[in-house]
């Protein structure tokens, strides 16, 4: 299976120089709509997980404390350059979304845009997002998801072997993923290509499945 952390670090390092040409204009509206679902307040501590080159920055308030991570050093360099050009103070770090180097209950908002469909283990990523969120924190997700009603069929699973290696997993389901990770979905909005791309706003629930409740290491 090609969808591994090591392979993602390599390929997104290769994508970094041309990433904006593909992902900037195409996802502007979807990013804006997703971030528009968040209830913002001055002084919030916000984390962008898998922030890429920082294409979310124009749609974020300026009166927040902003942190950003990405697996690829090339992406983080471009994010830092974009933040400087926009006059924004962003603490940008190279970091694996499945093992975040932040304390428990540290952030008011965690943003995960276009990352759950490319992570090797999205359950781990969501468990980490839940861990670093404050009790009343908000999770902002925007990604491509297949229907929640039934799992992927044989043809889609076969095609996924190719798409997950070069781009993205096409078999992941939003509500099962978020619910099993202990999140309660408050908003679920189609934002692009019909209902293929969705923006979800969620908060921490009172329970979490056993598979998502493993203790944090490191």
> Lowest-confidence range among 21-30, 120-129, 142-151?
142-151
Mapping DSSP to helix (H, G, I), strand (E, B) and coil, where does residue 143 land?
A: strand
Q: What is the residue-averaged pLDDT of the chain?
A: 90
**CA 44, CA 46: separation in Å to the nearest integer?**
6
Q: What is the pLDDT of residue 24?
A: 96
Instruction: Report how far apart the first and last C-alpha atoms of the chain are (Å, whole number).
Output: 26
List the chain domain ranges: 5-206
Q: What is the mean pLDDT of residues 166-177?
A: 85
Q: What is the mean pLDDT of residues 13-38?
A: 94
Confidence check: pLDDT of 152 > 60: yes
Q: In CATH, which of 2.30.130.10, 3.40.50.150, 3.30.420.40, 3.40.50.2300 is domain 5-206?
A: 3.40.50.150
Which residue, 72, 70, 90, is CA-closest to 80? 90
């Amino acid at each position: 299976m090609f969808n591994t952390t090591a392979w993602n670090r390599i390929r997104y390092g290769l994508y970094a120089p041309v990433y904006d040409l593909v992902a900037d204009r195409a996802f502007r509206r979807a990013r804006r709509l997703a971030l528009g679902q968040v209830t913002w307040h001055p002084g919030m501590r916000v984390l962008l997980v898998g922030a890429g080159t920082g294409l979310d920055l124009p749609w974020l308030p300026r009166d927040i404390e902003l942190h950003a991570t990405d697996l690829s050093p090339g992406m983080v360099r471009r994010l830092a350059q974009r933040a400087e050009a926009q006059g924004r103070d962003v603490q940008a770090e190279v970091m694996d979304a499945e093992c975040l180097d932040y304390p428990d209950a540290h952030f008011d908002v965690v943003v995960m845009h276009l990352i759950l469909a490319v992570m090797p283990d999205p359950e781990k990523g969501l468990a980490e997002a839940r861990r670093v969120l404050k009790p009343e924190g908000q999770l902002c997700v925007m990604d491509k998801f297949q229907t929640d009603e039934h799992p992927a069929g044989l043809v889609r699973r076969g095609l996924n072997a190719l798409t997950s290696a070069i781009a993205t997993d096409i078999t992941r389901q939003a509500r099962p993923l978020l619910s099993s990770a202990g999140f309660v979905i408050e908003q679920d909005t189609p934002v692009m290509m019909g209902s293929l791309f969705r923006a979800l706003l969620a908060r921490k629930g009172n329970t979490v499945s056993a598979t998502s409740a493993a203790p944090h290491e490191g």
